[in-house]
Structure 1
Amino acid sequence: MQFPTDIFISYAHIDDESLIQNQKGWISEFHRALDIRLAQLLGRRPVIWRDDSLQGNHVFDKQIVDQFAKVAIMISIITPRYVKSEWCIREVDEFYNTSQTNIGFTVSNKARIFKVIKTPVRIEQHPEKISGVLGYEFYNTDPGTGRVKELSQAFGNETERLYWEKLDDLAHDISSFLESLELPLAATSSNQSPITANGQSADKVFLAESSYDTQDFRDSLKRELQGYGYHILPDKQLPLIAKPLNESLISNLSEAVLSIHLLGENYGVVPEGAQKSIVEIQNDVAASYSAANSIPRFIWIPEGCEPGDDRQISFIDKLNSGKEGIAGADLVQGSLEDFKSVVIDKLNSMKKEVKKEEEQPEIYDESSKIIYLICDLSDIDEIRPLEDFLFDNGYEVVIPIFEGDESGIREDHIENLKTCSAAIIFFSNANELWLRSKTRDFLKINGYGRAKPLAFKAIYIAPPDSMSKQRFRTLDAEVINALNGLPEEKLKSLLSKI
């Protein structure tokens, strides 16, 4: 359905008053910039309307409300004055009510009111009808002082860059929404998956809310994923009360093909009734959900991350140790651009798997006896006695590949974990960081989409001897002590489980 007017901008008059004499106000500049960027994205000039004759003492104008039936989208500029204005609140309510009489308030699960937060206001003070709508935050918070600074074209290079990035995000989302209205109504039903520009159903990715120091990273990754056609969840404001938050997270995760969590130096907001931050809660819920439903996950820690909060230090230490919150996840540390590549490679790999299964479903042979012998390149010669023993006892032995790009090697490793009957980590000359990394993969195996549990997981401790090897033990896998030679009876006992 098409509307004569694309956008109505709802705002409080005082928020368009300029601090600098003879300079346009924030709302006027926002209107101008949005008009130009949307025209570039849509290929036509958008019809944007706002009442620029507003005065603080104006009474509510029924003539404005009468126009709402002709408007596709409202943009609400949230500020302290806006949420205190009876006029502004009534505009939201009236647009919401009018939308129910035509195509509804949501289309493809997206609200027809876009919330631009110019100045932070507590969520409970937002207009009730849009309290659950995600906002576009046109401000940032100084990590040192906690002071909020509005994004503007007039406050310096860095603030100006962030302003244009945020406006570009908003323009892309509005452009996509307006284009979706031109699709047949059945294709944009709120009960169906979101539709991409080419008319295809969009896969959904859960991109967890993050602390404010990683918000720019999250926005950048969100922008990248949307550019590849993915629909980002959560697409509504997460509750800041423990019980409804958990319910909302499970609902979101049930729709997603991948879960992504970004960690930083700050711990994040602690919801009402909770003991942990929203960042840690999201990860805990996703870990439990992944263990039960095999949804793959990524956890990213930026390079050079040095948290000062004891709670955040403890949280990251638990993840690094692989004991809590890591189920189904790859823990990635490095630059954001490298992380983006890893995520996109994973999503592309998942699409290929789905396509392969649709074209020719893979038959899982439960009678096969494949053992994945995981080793480091430095131990390729040392594994020969164990490899020969397994083969002589009737087992096919698969070892890792060591040549090719990092993404391909990782993909082969995951595929081996998915299809083998059992897995053994061979620990000889490699260092303990390598061992810890491979052991964590055992914890993530459900998230890789494995069809059935491994018959056994084992760590084979081979010479050279060391104090740390003698003391090594774990509850996550069987430990095979081969420091004094090949333990045939122990191996045969394990093999009997296949």
Structure 2
Amino acid sequence: MAFVPGYEYDVFISYAHVDNICFPDQGDGWIKQFYQNLNLMLAKRSGRLDSIKIWWDTKKLDGSVLFDDSIAAGIEKAAIMICLNSPGYKASKYCAQELDLFHKKAAGEPGGLKAGQQTRIFHVLLNNIPHTDWPDELQGSTGFPFHDGEDQHDFGDTVETTSAQFKAQMRHLKDAVFRALETMQKEAGSASAPTKPKKLAGKKPSTAKASAAEKAPATNTESVASDEGFTIFMSEVPDTLRSPRKRIISELEKNGYQVLAGIPPPDAKEELQKETEAALQTSGLAVNLLDIYPGREVVDAPDVWYPQFQTELSLKTEVDQLIWIPADSDFAEIEEGEYRNFLTKLEEGELTKKRYEFIRGSKSSLARQIMDYAEVIKSKSAAPIEDDGEIPVLLDAHENDHLYALDLGRSLLQNQFRPFINPQEDDPRKNLDLLGKRMSQVRKLIFLYGNVSKDWVLERMNAALQLILTNNYPIEDFFIYMAPPHKEAGDISINQRLLKVNVIDNSNDPTLTEQAVDRFLKELKLQAG
């Protein structure tokens, strides 16, 4: 089943087979590597391996072969198309047929060629092809450049899949594709859902207090929550963070999130509390942006500041919460002792027993962190622990091993396991809250030990153990899957009593062979039993 209801495939990749040809000693072709990277990045974005279905043709069509019925069927059943434009693409009559067929069928569907504000045909440029040479169906789009051409006269070469430019463009493409698919998913759900009255929670925080809310500074941005999408509560901020907050709200809304903001200023503390609690009841995530400057005081409550008070109210709820301060914040510079004590205890986790995400970071990456956190919350609520007899497992791997992890995950899917993917970092202690959210959905945790240091794997396991102890997650077994390159027997050993740790050594297999998979599945199913 595809991510977008009503379709069999979410993405159809249209390309010229000449662009996938490589020298014998160069491994996989460029198109296959593009597909593998896109597939894995979309899996990470959605939270589940192969939750987004991609169709790409592996057969080589030439002039003696008729246009394949399976290709036509794939196009008819696809939600969006990605065109990999190149001289080979322009020269291929099959590519022209694919693009023409999708363009016509999409134009005749509800919503037409648009998914929200985006096109359903994504234009990837493998070379710096002049606009005048683009197919008519791609005119008007800007395209995603995967070439090194520096000006309009430089035709350029397709960038290597290991380059920084490739990775950066893949992130942009992945985000754009996922936004389009998510928009189509929501539209499909809205179209099929029975009409029902709006919840009170979907309205502004309070119609009775509208006159007070309208007194808010012009820099505050307010969006009405609805039954659709995911709602994020953004608390009031000090003046130093007002402009960044406004930009973040705008970016969140552009990505389809509902944002509740602009609640202050009810001047009375009691009114502020009532307004804030009403907004929190409708929200899936509370975001509090703090600084060493506490912000404006509540009129009838000296030494009570809007940002702190709304943060404390959020901490009393069950709503998932993200708290952020600038990376260079020095609490010693805070003049107000009460506020300094509040921030210190907040960072050290001594203020409440509730779990929350506390981040010291930069403003530039904050919107992305909020969206990543929101996606994890959404995936947690959407996926039960058991589903159709499949055994849920979490595959945790460093980005150096992501392609191997992708192949291993597919093998698990084919053998009654439901693999989840966790974001990988160079620092094994980063994104621990994301790790914890995913761990709450599975019974077994697999650490891939391949092109990464043993210390990274051990540190990752220690972090997972702490999360289990703190949150009583339902993890039954740890597995360390030793992947290539070669590792000596007994290279890694664990001595702990909380969970059984199973070490599977497949590091001598240069690729993921059927024998390697069988050995792992045998052990995994043995423990599952």
TM-score, L = length of structure 2:
0.37
TM-score, L = length of structure 1:
0.39
